[in-house]
A and B are shown apart, each in its own frame.
Chain A
Amino acid sequence: MDADELLEHYQNGRKSFIDENLSCTNLSDANLIRINLSRANLEKTTLTFAFLKEANLNSSNCAKATLSGIDLNQSTLRFANLHDCDLHGAILQGANLADTNLTLANLLDSNLMEANLEGADLSGADLTGVSLLGAILTSFGRQGKDNPRRTKLKRSILKRADLEGLNLDNLDFTQAILWEANLVRASFAKANLQQAHLQEANLFAADLTGANLSDANLRGANLTKANLEWANLTGADLTGAYLNETKMFEGIFNNATLVKAKLQRARMIGASLKQADLTNANLMEANLRQADLTQANLTGANLDHADLTNTELTGTNCTNVNLEGVILPDGITY
């Protein structure tokens, strides 16, 4: 079927085009509200600025389609193939994108507010500047807790994306780019953020309990009041990061770089900081009880009134450390 035929049928009242082959057609600016294109072949089809509000594109093939500026508000696209398609500046607000294949898709500046992305594969997709406010990215499927449907975000690009307050527990963000992303109060419990690029990301009060952040780049990131309990930050770069009042109970920071990090009043009870570089870090009033600082570098650090009760300091470099009012490992105030 070509574009003219479809438009003619649609204008005559036909809404259902299930299994139709519309590959390589141009339907730009078309008003196709509530159209049913489920299982349709839309490969390499152009739908720029098309109006497909409340449309049904379930299981359709939209691979390499040009869908820039398309309005898919409240549409359903479950199991659709959107691989390598162009969704630049598209409206996907409230759309059901569960289990879609969005690998390598371009979603630059698109509106994904309140969209359902459960089980969608966004690996390598460009989500720069997207707003995901109220979106669903993780939940448990019908099979229950044993078979959760998780959005895949491996190597995705989320520069300056807005993910404030989202539930991102258990998701895979390996090597994802999240520069300056808004992650305020987002929940990343047990998420995989290995080698993720989180430079200057705002993680204020984010929940990173048990998350894997090993070798992640968190330079200048804001982690104030975040929860890093049992998180693994082995080899992570936290140079100049803000970790004031962060909960780090039994967090692993071995070989991490915390040069000039702000750790004022951080709760680091039982944290492992073996061979961590804390040069010029500010640990004022930090609670380091039972923490392991074996062979850590504390040169020039400020430990003013920090609590080092039962802290392991074997081989720790304490050159020029400010120890004013510090509670020493034996419980005595310096």
Chain B
Amino acid sequence: MVSTSQASTQNLEKQQQLLMMKKLLVAVCRNYWERDRVTLLSTSIKELITELQQSYPSFNEVKQKLYQVVNQLNKREKYFPIAIQLIKKLSQLYGEVTEETQASLNQLEAHDNSVDIALNQNSKIANILKTFEQDQNSQRIHKMLFALTQKCWENNPETLSNYPIQQLIQNIYQIYPSLEPISFNLLKIVKRLNKQGIYSQITKTIIAELAKLYPDQEVEQLTSLVNVSNANLISSKNTPSSVVAFPKVETETRKHNFAYNPYQVRQGIMKYANPLRTKILLFCTLHSNKISSQQEIDSLLLKTYELDQMVMQLVQKFRTIQQLQNNLETTAFSIVTLNNQMLNTDENLKIVKAIVTSVKPLYETN
């Protein structure tokens, strides 16, 4: 038994189909696309068919025109089944072909069309796959596509092999309705990586290839987005204070935690440690050299680095939290002996503890 809601849904669907049918008929008869619902509702199918018969004496002409109209539509997939139904009905009116023959012919044509679309899409994916596989950075492309679809970074070739490139491309096509969010998300991933230069180039290749799946998209503009980011990267190298415009967590050696919140990490450190002492400790750990004078602290040297950026560099440098802690502790003790300003070992170890506690979540794989 059909429930009331089901019945009303079916009724609505029928009404919708009827409207779509009328839109097609108006387009065939009057050569324009009628969007006004009121006009469509006030126009009867009978009236349109009479008009159609006057304009197109033969069934073939109507059929041809109808296909032409549907092919010009954005939502041609949606309108094809309606056109088929219409042709079926019109074939009876024109009486030139039997219903069965026409229906099977129509179905065949429709099938041909959908097969065409699918085949076309598959051949595009195959071409993209070929380009990706032949690229010298094929492995990196694979990682980027993985990150784009699975929302996490993966370096393990075994895991990656479970996600073939072809499948990832298909996933992308299903997930993303347009090229723009792809470019945006790729850019976001790149910003978190160590080798931003290489990965920006890879992103450009990926966008250029995936654009084949999304015709009529502004590829140039999107790739220029990556170029801009590249330019920023290059210019930032010249100005150390802005080296890391975005937190960089990644790396090619470890899974990265995308749920990273740089503000929370910084807050966690600042609550328990002197920010400037923290920066000195981080600087010495990162650069394996010491700050031995007041002048160096006062100088512009440390002002060209941001606490955030140094913490992230540290995370990139050490593969495990234990390595990170050991290195920080070694530095904490070594600067005590060399620099009387850092004599307080306890305070240095307090800083180490604050850093380790704050960055620990970054080492926990999702």
Interaction A to B: yes
Tell whether, in the assembled complex, residue B306 and residue A260 are in contact, meaning their CB atoms are under 8 Å apart.
Answer: no
Chain A proximity mask over B249-275: 1 for CB below 8 Å, otherwise 0: 000000000000011001100110011
Shortest beta-carbon distance, B30 to chain A, in Å? 18
- Residues of A300-334 at the interface with B, using a CB-CB cut-off of 8 Å, are 322-324, 332-334
Q: Interface digits, B30-43 against A, CB 8 Å rule (1 contact, 0 not)?
A: 00000111100000
Q: How many residues of A contact B (CB 8 A)?
A: 38
Are A113 and B35 also in contact (CB < 8 A) when A29-B341, A48-B298, A162-B263 are? no
Known: A260-B180, A332-B37. A91 touches B274 (CB 8 A): yes
With A131-B267, A162-B266: A90-B298 Cβ-Cβ less than 8 Å: no
Bound state CA distance, A164 and B270, in angstroms?
A: 16
A29-B341, A48-B294, A66-B298 known; A129 and B274 CB under 8 Å?
no
CB within 8 Å for A68 and B276 given contacts A334-B35, A334-B37: yes
Q: Is the Cβ of A68 less than 8 Å from the Cβ of B297?
A: yes
Q: Do residues A129 and B307 form an inter-chain contact, with CB atoms below 8 A?
A: yes
Number of A-B contacts (CB under 8 A): 85
Q: Tell me the smallest distance from the CB of B76 to a CB of chain A, in Å.
A: 14
Whether, in the assembled complex, A185 has its beta carbon less than 8 Å from a beta carbon of chain B, the answer is no
Residue of A nearest to B225 (CB): A240
Please tell me which stretch of A10-18, A56-64, A104-112 contacts chain B, meaning at least 4 of its Cβ atoms lie within 8 angstroms of it.
A104-112
- A28 on the interface (CB 8 Å rule)? yes
Contact of B307 with A162 in the complex, beta carbons under 8 Å: no
- From residue A224, how far is it (CB to closest CB) to chain B in Å? 15
Chain B residue, CB-CB nearest to A162: B263
In the complex, the 10 A-B pairs of residues with the closest C-beta atoms, listed nearest first: A89-B276, A69-B276, A89-B275, A109-B307, A111-B270, A162-B263, A182-B263, A109-B275, A129-B306, A332-B37
The answer to whether A88 has its CB under 8 Å from any CB of chain B is yes
A180 touching B270 in the complex, CB below 8 Å, given contacts A48-B297, A333-B37: no
The answer on a CB contact under 8 Å between B37 and A129 is: no
Contact of A128 among B35, B184, B306 (CB under 8 A): B306
Interface 1/0 per residue, A124-167 and B, CB below 8 Å: 00001101010000000000000000000000000010101000
How many whole Å from A49's CB to the nearest CB in chain B? 6
Contact assessment for A49 and B267 in the assembled complex, using a CB-CB cutoff below 8 Å: no
Name, among A69, A86, A260, A334, the residue most crowded by chain B CB atoms within 10 Å (CB to CB).
A69
Interface bin, chain B: 20 to 34
Contacts of A86 in B (CB 8 A): 298
Separation in Å of the A131 CB from the closest CB of chain B? 5
Q: Chain A binding site: helix, strand, loop or mixed by DSSP?
A: loop
Residues of chain A within 8 A of B267, CB atoms compared: 113, 131, 133, 162
Bitwise, B202-227 to A at CB < 8 A (1) or not (0) is 00000000000000000000000000
Query: In whole angstroms, how far apart are the Cα atoms of A114 and B297 in the complex?
Result: 26
Contact (Cβ within 8 A) B276 A113: no
User: Is B246 located at the chain interface by the 8 A CB criterion?
Assistant: yes
Contacts of A133 in B (CB 8 A): 267
Closest partner residue, chain B, to A260 (CB atom): B180
**Chain B interface SS verdict (over half):** helix
Question: Is B147's beta carbon under 8 Å from chain A?
Answer: no
B246 lies within 8 A of A180 (CB): yes
Residue-wise, chain B 228-247 has the 8 Å CB interface mask toward A (1 for contact) of 00000000000000000110
Residue A71, interface by CB 8 Å: yes
Q: A49-B277, A69-B275 are in contact. List 18 more A-B contacts (CB 8 A).
A: A28-B294, A48-B297, A69-B276, A108-B303, A109-B276, A113-B270, A113-B271, A129-B266, A131-B267, A131-B270, A164-B263, A182-B263, A240-B184, A260-B180, A280-B180, A322-B74, A323-B35, A332-B37
Give Cα A131–Cα B298 distance, bound, in whole angstroms: 21
B308 at the interface (CB under 8 A from A): yes
Contact with B along A66-79 (1 / 0, CB 8 A): 10110100000000
| 5 pairs of residues in contact across A and B, judged by CB atoms under 8 Å | A49-B276, A89-B274, A108-B306, A333-B37, A334-B37
Q: How many Å from the CB of B311 to the closest CB on chain A?
A: 11
Query: In the assembled complex, how far is the CB of residue A114 from the closest CB belonging to chain B, in whole angstroms?
Result: 11
How far, in angstroms, from A69 to B277 measured CA to CA in the complex? 7
Interface assignment of B349: CB less than 8 Å from any CB of chain A: no
Given A71-B274, A88-B302, A180-B246, also A109-B263 (CB < 8 A): no
Inter-subunit contact A109/B279 (CB<8 Å): yes
Do B297 and A69 touch across chains, with their CB atoms under 8 A apart?
yes
Q: Is the CB of B270 within 8 A of A160?
A: no
Report chain B residues within 8 Å CB of A71.
274
Interface string of A234-269 (1 = CB under 8 A from B): 000000100000000000000000001000000000
Q: From residue 271 to 297 of chain B, which have CB atoms closer than 8 A to chain A? A: 271, 274-279, 294, 297
Contact A129 B308 (CB under 8 A): yes
Residues in chain B near residue A280, CB distance under 8 A:
180
Inter-subunit contact A160/B303 (CB<8 Å): no
Contact of A111 among B37, B74, B75, B275 (CB under 8 A): B275
For the complex, what is the distance from the CA of A88 to the CA of B245, rounded to whole Å?
19
With the chains together, A334 CA to B271 CA distance in Å? 57
Separation of A48 and B275 alpha carbons in the complex (Å): 12
- B-chain residues with CB within 8 Å of residue A109 when the two chains form the complex: 275-276, 279, 306-307
Give complex CA distance A240, B278 in Å: 36
B-side contacts of A66, CB under 8 Å: 298
Instruction: Give bound CA distance, A113 to B297, whole Å.
Output: 23
User: CB distance A160 to B306 under 8 Å?
Assistant: yes
Instruction: Quote the shortest CB–CB distance from A279 to chain B (angstroms).
Output: 10
* Cβ 8 A contact of B275, one of A110, A164, A182, A334: A110
Q: Of all chain A residues, which has the CB nearest B74?
A: A322
A106 contact from B180, B246, B303, Cβ within 8 A: B303
The CA-CA distance from A71 to B306 in the complex, in Å, is 19
